[in-house]
Amino acid sequence: MNMDTGKNPDSSGDSLAEILKRDFGDGLLHEQRTLTGMPVFWVTRDALTDVLGYLKGLTAPFDLLYDLSAIDERLRSDRQGLPAADFTVFYQLLSISRNADIMLKVALSADDLSLPTAVEVFPAANWYEREVWDMFGITFAGHPHLTRILMPATWSGHPLRKDYPARATEFDPYTLTVEGQDTEQEAMRFDPEAWGMQRERQGVEFMFLNLGPNHPSAHGAFRLVLQLDGEEIVDCVPDIGYHHRGAEKMAERQSWHSFIPYTDRIDYTGGVMNNLPYVLAAEKLAGIEVPERVKVIRVMMAEMFRITSHLLFLGTYLQDLGAMTPVFYTFSDRQRGYEVIEGITGFRMHPAWYRIGGVMQDLPQGWEKLVQGFLDWMPSRLREYERAMMENAIVRDRTRHVAAFSTAEALEWGVTGPNLRATGCNFDLRKQRPYSGYEQFDFDVPLGHNGDVFDRGQLRIEEMRQSLRIIQQCVNHMPAGDYKADHPLTTPPPRERMLEHIETLITHFLQVSWGPVLKPQESLQMVEATKGINSYYLTSDGNTMSYRTRIRTPSFPHLQQIPSVMRGGFVPDLIAHLGSIDFVMADVDR
């Protein structure tokens, strides 16, 4: 990884560390060595916003607040000389110009769980801080609206704390009385004053419209409260959390291996693309280097899912523009993709097919023919979608210069992936920070110009073409070799090694029943997922289970950005925008 700035004295990261030490000597407590591939600094609470502002103000700025969350450190046994903390809040910043990351951590003690807000420096911190408050009960002084975001307003307790139960058997059975239902309903009622909204302007009363949580164009259980003047959107408030299933909490009670199927369901249109960052991060902890064949198989299947996900996007995007036919065509193409996926993995949407140290099984006989059939079918179809729809005058009228935002605005709000590239920003992790052997593939990164609804649609069609190119190279050059790494922590371990003698049998038994034990460290892997940058930040405490799994998903900040894009727009433009940002609610709420 070219992010290993901590070890390379020539890279800008190291000089940055020196500069930080010089300028914030007292505020900088500790530099932590991790497997995250980026410098990790512990800073004091007082210095936090200064350091954040400083990093954002550099000539090559850390301009994107990539992630912000917390860790409950109270039960962590192996803390490797880290500063004393009951809770840690971490801020991961990303610099496009440096192509480097930096992580800041702040230690908090349980009797004073408060931090200054970072909203003034990074607007995108708003939702992340609300999530930290919701999940950990840490307050952010000066936050404009510190309320629950994923859990219902009526919830008590902070679920990601270690003392919060994780199993249903630890709770009383759930009951809901009629009064309780009324209370819940009432808690859902939108209160404009709480959001600082006017109810009227110059004697004209605004209409407050609940778009969702059950609306055909909300793409799942998602609510957007619109403040309307006629059909003009004066302001809007996205409301998420209806799809929250506590994936991060579940990761803390599943073995490293048995959590893989849960990742499939984060971005549920992305299939094995979700497994990739998780197994790559786990392999860093385990120290596994996988064979070339595994890398290429993983790339091929991930790109297959990029195509099926983009086909779903294209159909619904055009349907949101009122064209009812394309979705049926893209779905039948998607079905062809799933036939290939099913032939190889045995499953369609959620194969959970990647393993720590490899993939579940080798490619079946005749897989080349199956994949080649799909590769031959798609290009003419993509051309047809462009001719019939993207060149259509009404589509162009509905999408050109609608809901447009610039690169700077995108970075301000943490937008990544195709939505960022539609603004002309050339940042694709497969090129910038190749993982799983992407550096060996020949493909282009399509870019947009205007960052509008049209560019976001057209760019994804182009991305499908590039994915087809990558898959073609996989078919042509699939390396021979094993589908699992020859490593003691490969899970599940190869069966051939089991029956040698009693010791191997016991090892095998333990590794299948308990799963592997990964060394106490922290690792992180980002991938260019279907909707943007997705990463898993794993903290191991030397156990069979993860101590903390932070899942950073692209759709979360994309939804947070909606109000800043849509103020002053019309309802149909909002629908077009919602269709163009390509989100699924499971990817937002986790």
Binding site for other proteins (CB under 8 A): 207, 209, 215-217, 230-231, 318-325, 328-329, 332, 389, 392, 394-395, 397-398, 570-573, 575
Amino acid at 41: F
Helix axes 453-476, 571-581, angle to 10 degrees: 20
Are 92 and 67 contacting, i.e. CB atoms less than 8 angstroms apart? yes
Question: What is the per-residue burial (b if ≥16 Cβ within 10 Å, else e) of 158-185?
Answer: bbbbbeeebeeeeeeeeeeeeeeeeeee
Which residue blocks in 265-355 are alpha helix, DSSP H? 275-286, 292-320, 326-345
Residues 6 or more apart whose Cβ sits within 8 Å of residue 561: 124, 405, 409, 410, 413, 414, 415
Residue 392 or 458: the one with the smaller Cβ distance to other proteins is: 392
Residue 563 or 569: the one with the smaller Cβ distance to other proteins is: 569
In the three-class reduction of DSSP (H, G, I as helix; E, B as strand; rest coil), residue 202 is classed as coil
Sheet holding 207-211, edge to edge: 207-211, 223-229, 232-239
Cα-based distances in Å from 550 to 351, 526, 568: 22, 12, 35
Residue 59 or 185: the one with the smaller Cβ distance to other proteins is: 185
Residue 210 or 543: the one with the smaller Cβ distance to other proteins is: 210
Residue 392 or 504: the one with the smaller Cβ distance to other proteins is: 392
* Least distance from other proteins to the Cβ atom of residue 339, Å: 16
**Angle 577-583-588 (CA atoms, 0-180°, nearest 5)?**
125
Query: Which tokens sit at 270?
Result: 């992305």
Residue 103 or 318: the one with the smaller Cβ distance to other proteins is: 318
Are 247 and 262 contacting, i.e. CB atoms less than 8 angstroms apart? yes
Residue 259 or 317: the one with the smaller Cβ distance to other proteins is: 317
Amino acid at 173: P
Are 406 and 481 contacting, i.e. CB atoms less than 8 angstroms apart? no
Closest CA to 92 of 589, 485, 551: 551
Residues 6 or more apart whose Cβ sits within 8 Å of residue 376: none
Where are any strands of DSSP class E within 383-440?
Answer: none
Residue 297 or 389: the one with the smaller Cβ distance to other proteins is: 389
* Least distance from other proteins to the Cβ atom of residue 570, Å: 7
Query: Which tokens sit at 458?
Result: 């057209």
* Least distance from other proteins to the Cβ atom of residue 321, Å: 4
* Least distance from other proteins to the Cβ atom of residue 317, Å: 10
Query: Distance (Å, rounded) from C-alpha 355 to C-alpha 346?
Result: 15
* Least distance from other proteins to the Cβ atom of residue 395, Å: 5
* Least distance from other proteins to the Cβ atom of residue 357, Å: 42
Residue 384 or 439: the one with the smaller Cβ distance to other proteins is: 384
Residue 99 DSSP label:
T
Residue 84 or 393: the one with the smaller Cβ distance to other proteins is: 393
Are 171 and 165 contacting, i.e. CB atoms less than 8 angstroms apart? yes
* Least distance from other proteins to the Cβ atom of residue 415, Å: 23
* Least distance from other proteins to the Cβ atom of residue 231, Å: 7
Pairing of strands 114-116, 139-141: parallel
Residue 122 or 454: the one with the smaller Cβ distance to other proteins is: 454
* Least distance from other proteins to the Cβ atom of residue 313, Å: 15
* Least distance from other proteins to the Cβ atom of residue 233, Å: 12
Closest CA to 435 of 281, 322, 312, 538: 281
* Least distance from other proteins to the Cβ atom of residue 394, Å: 5
